[in-house]
Structure 1
Amino acid sequence: MKASPSAVRPLSIVAAAVLALIVWFIARQVAGDLVVKSGGSTQTVGVASVILSVVVVGLLGWGLLALLERITAKGRTIWTVIAVIFLLLSLLAPLGGLDTGTKVSLALLHLLVGAVIITGFTRTPART
């Protein structure tokens, strides 16, 4: 029995959030606070930022995938290309980290979340 997208996709978001929190916790133990430049000030990346970012990105990605699956037979392929492009572009964001440990930690978080969500969303049968 294959899992339905309505079961696997939200679990992919939850798994990405949990794994991101684990990596964030380890990164804080190794590199200290993850501090980024935001405009003219600095901001510490905290638990709420990590969870909210994963959930928002996951839900937006899921919504786009569901829409593409409804309007085109190649929806999953199109979505995967878009998702990979967004993942690669998201790797520019960690460059705002104040130190190397923060930059590496944030890049790992982006790659982890992207890999879990992209894999989880594309390994499920399309909606019919």
Structure 2
Amino acid sequence: MSINESNRTAPAAGASRPRRVEGRRRLDVVGLAVGVALIWWAVLSQAAGIDLQAKQGSVTHINGVSVFVATLVTSLAGWGLLAVLERRTPNARNVWTLVATIFCLTSLGSPLLNGIGMDAKLALASLHLVVGAVVILGLRRTALTAQERCAC
């Protein structure tokens, strides 16, 4: 039995549980976000030759490992928040989207304030926006709407 099949087992007698639509896997979204972030980092730093540096106490060079770790942690945190909200509110999809969008927009302060050089500031901000777009749109797609969650 595959992982998807095990998640689709019948609910206990009398219980009705909302189910996610087939093909909407959160782990795929996390992997896509990490992959896109690394590709965009490579385009910015390697192909365009932008020196991605930021002042975070001392001068930090933003390399592929830091992009990988930051994207992975952020994506998993978004997944976790969505899972918690789904257990707490029927309107989890919209609440999560609003919170995630606010988080993404406020995260732009870091590269715009701490990036060294205008090219690094804009490149790092674009990296935040690319990851944010993939995570927000991807994880939002995996969540059921309030109507789907309440339909019995």
SS at match of 1:123: helix
> Structure 1 unaligned runs (5+)?
none
**Structure 2 residue corresponding to 1:47, chosen from 30, 41, 64:** 64
State the Cα deviation string for residues 74-93 of structure 1 (Å, max 9, x = none).
11111111000000000101
SS at match of 1:98: coil
**Structure 2 residue corresponding to 1:105, chosen from 116, 123, 140:** 123
Distance across 1 between alignment mates of 2:70 and 2:60 = 15
Distance across 1 between alignment mates of 2:22 and 2:105 = 29
Q: Which has the higher helix share?
A: 1
Indicate how the Cα distance of structure 1 residues 89 and 125 shifts in structure 2: closer, same or farther if over 3 A, else same: closer
* Greater RCO structure (CA 8 Å; 6+ sep): 1
> Structure 2 unaligned runs (5+)?
1-20
| Rg comparison, structure with higher value | 2
The residue number in structure 2 matching 1:78 is 95
State the Cα deviation string for residues 25-47 of structure 1 (Å, max 9, x = none).
111132432111112x2010011
Residues 54 and 61 of structure 2 are in contact (CA less than 8 Å); yes or no, is this contact kept in structure 1?
yes
Residues 31 and 102 of structure 1 are in contact (CA less than 8 Å); yes or no, is this contact kept in structure 2?
no
Aligned pairs, how many? 125
Distance across 2 between alignment mates of 1:124 and 1:75 = 11
Distance across 1 between alignment mates of 2:82 and 2:23 = 14
The residue number in structure 2 matching 1:91 is 108
Indicate how the Cα distance of structure 1 residues 125 and 83 shifts in structure 2: closer, same or farther if over 3 A, else same: closer
TM-score (norm 1): 0.90
What is the aligned-residue identity percentage? 41
**Structure 1 residue corresponding to 2:82, chosen from 53, 65, 90:** 65
Distance across 2 between alignment mates of 1:91 and 1:50 = 15
TM-score (norm 2): 0.76
The residue number in structure 1 matching 2:52 is 34
